[in-house]
Homo-oligomer: A and B are copies of this chain.
Amino acid sequence: MAANPSLAQALSAIRTADAELKAFTALHQSLPSTAPDGPLAGKLVAVKDIFDTADLPTSYGSPIYAGHQPATEAAMVGIIRRAGALVVGKSTSTEFAYLQPTATLNPAAPGCTPGGSSAGSAAAVAAGLVPLAIGSQTGGSTVRPASYCGIVGFKPSFGLLPTAGMKCFSWSLDTVGLFARTVADAAAFAQAVSGGRIAPPPMRAPGAWVVGVPDAYPWGELSASSRQGMARATEALRAAGARVVACKLPAWAGEAFTAHDAVQGWEAVRALRAEMDDHVQQLSPMLREYLQGAMAITDQAYATAQGAAARARVACEAWFDGIDVLLTPSAPDEPPSGYASTGASTFNRAWTLLGTPCISVPGATGVNNRPMGLQLVAPRERDDLCLAAAALLERALQAR
């Protein structure tokens, strides 16, 4: 057992800072003065309030579950604790990890949304309240808030970390996400919680990397800020010695983007059946309208979308033969001003459906000098490669 006498102080500091930041929905009253051994011994972790905890209330960001105390604990929470880390509290989630904003502020961009749905986890890490946090991603709920808050957000390969005990929105898309301030911390976190299934990032000289940059995106044009961020990253990578090559995203990328809609909608009206049928007045108008619209998605449309997704996954795997990783903006833009919207998952949805590892690396800014993350995408199950490329990009951006 490792002694951690300063934990009470840390918890007190978190409570004080969070009065303004509003990143937490619940904090433990005390922490054990000793933590078990393990690869994360004594690390403080924030857990998105969409994961069940048996010792802290869990409301999934919805008034339907205000004050709800689960009897069980999500598998990710068990993993974190067995690794020796300490859960300090529950971080805010948008309503069922959809789009209704939380009260959380963005510590890296005053007056701007922290993004969503993992708003509290991203903000708590960005503000330095905790070194590590977990969230989730069904569209862009890890990579986007990481981009907006100027930290590292890592979405591992689909299915690698357990979603058991996490409120489901779409079982074919829901993926656990990890937040940290540096790529090295994110990589160590990922290795620990995966039990070593995610290998240490391979050591490789910068000159041995080939990074692909799409010449266009089926989901839209680049904003001025994302062009600026991409230019900065491309120059930095080249200056570091990496090869950056233009590439054309094949048809499967657009097909995956389109398929995401039907897959998410068909599954959400089933995963949230009880909430729709028994508590509809307590859903936000935004989510209610989304779910009611999604009721029109037929089984046939769902099966067709799932078929397209399966074909796209196979094609995507083969396509990476020419490049090591893909570089794209993490989000369409800098964090928007105000708190009315959590932004858009445009640059994330296809990869979430494809199940590839994705990471948002901070270090660039947009035209208003707000954080503009860069996303690296690697082939499925090559989480180690994704993390190694992220370390390269992080160093390259810091060197300039």
Binding site for B on A (CB under 8 A): 39, 54, 65, 68, 70-73, 75, 77-79, 81-82, 159, 162-168, 171-172, 174, 194-197, 199, 266-267, 269-274, 278, 299-300, 302-303, 306-307, 310, 381
22 A-B pairs (CB sep. < 8 Å): A54-B278, A68-B71, A70-B71, A75-B168, A75-B270, A75-B271, A77-B273, A78-B270, A78-B273, A78-B274, A159-B172, A163-B164, A163-B171, A164-B166, A164-B168, A164-B171, A194-B303, A195-B303, A196-B299, A196-B302, A197-B302, A197-B306
A302 x B71 contact (CB < 8 A) = no
**A310 / chain B contacts, CB cutoff of 8 Å:** 381
- The closest CB in chain B to the CB of A171 belongs to B162
User: What are the 6 closest A-B residue pairs judged by CB atoms, nearest first?
Assistant: A78-B273, A164-B168, A196-B303, A162-B171, A78-B270, A73-B274
Shortest distance between the CB of A70 and any CB in chain B (Å)? 8
Closest beta carbon of chain B to A318's beta carbon, Å: 14
User: A273 contacts which chain B residues (CB < 8 A)?
Assistant: 73, 77-78, 81-82
Q: How far is the CB of A173 from chain B (nearest CB, A)?
A: 11
Residue of B nearest to A302 (CB): B195
Q: Kindly state the separation between the CA atoms of A94 and B108 in the bound complex, as whole angstroms.
A: 50
Are A266 and B195 neighbours in the complex by a CB distance under 8 Å?
yes
Contact, CB under 8 Å: A82 / B269: yes
In the assembled complex, which residues on chain B have CB atoms less than 8 Å from the CB atom of A271? 75, 78, 162, 164
> Residue of B at shortest CB range from A161?
B171
Closest chain-B Cβ to A261's Cβ sits at a distance in Å of: 15
Write the nearest CB–CB distance from A86 to chain B, whole angstroms: 14
Q: How far is the CB of A332 from chain B (nearest CB, A)?
A: 29
Name A269's closest neighbour in chain B (CB-CB): B82
Q: With A196-B299, A303-B195 given, is the CB distance from A168 to B165 under 8 Å?
A: yes
- Bound together, the chains give a CA A266 to CA B78 distance in angstroms of 11
Cα–Cα distance between A54 and B275 once the two chains are bound (Å): 10
Contacts A65-B71, A75-B171 known; list 12 others, CB within 8 Å: A77-B273, A78-B269, A81-B273, A162-B171, A162-B271, A163-B164, A164-B174, A194-B303, A195-B306, A196-B300, A196-B303, A197-B302
- Asked whether, in the complex, the Cβ of A197 is within 8 Å of the Cβ of B75, the reply is no
Closest chain B residue to A271 by CB distance? B75
Select A270's contact among B82, B159, B274, beta carbons within 8 Å. Answer: B82
**Minimum CB distance partner of A306 in chain B:** B197
- What residues of chain B lie closer than 8 Å to A307, measured between beta carbons? 197
> A54–B168 contact, CB under 8 A?
no
Please give the distance in Å from A216's CB to the nearest CB on chain B.
Answer: 31
Set of chain B residues within 8 Å of A299, measured between Cβ atoms: 39, 195-196
Q: CB < 8 Å: which of B73, B162, B167, B172 contacts A72?
A: B167
| Chain B residues with CB below 8 A from A172, complex form | 159
Determine how close the nearest CB of chain B comes to the CB of A157; give it in whole angstroms: 11
Q: How far is the CA of A168 from the CA of B165 in the complex (A)?
A: 8
A278 vs B71: C-alpha distance when bound (angstroms): 12
Contact (Cβ within 8 A) B272 A78: yes
Contact A303–B270 (Cβ < 8 Å): no
Q: How far is the CB of A384 from chain B (nearest CB, A)?
A: 12
**Residue from the set A81, A195, A199, A269 with the largest chain B CB neighbour count within 10 Å:** A195
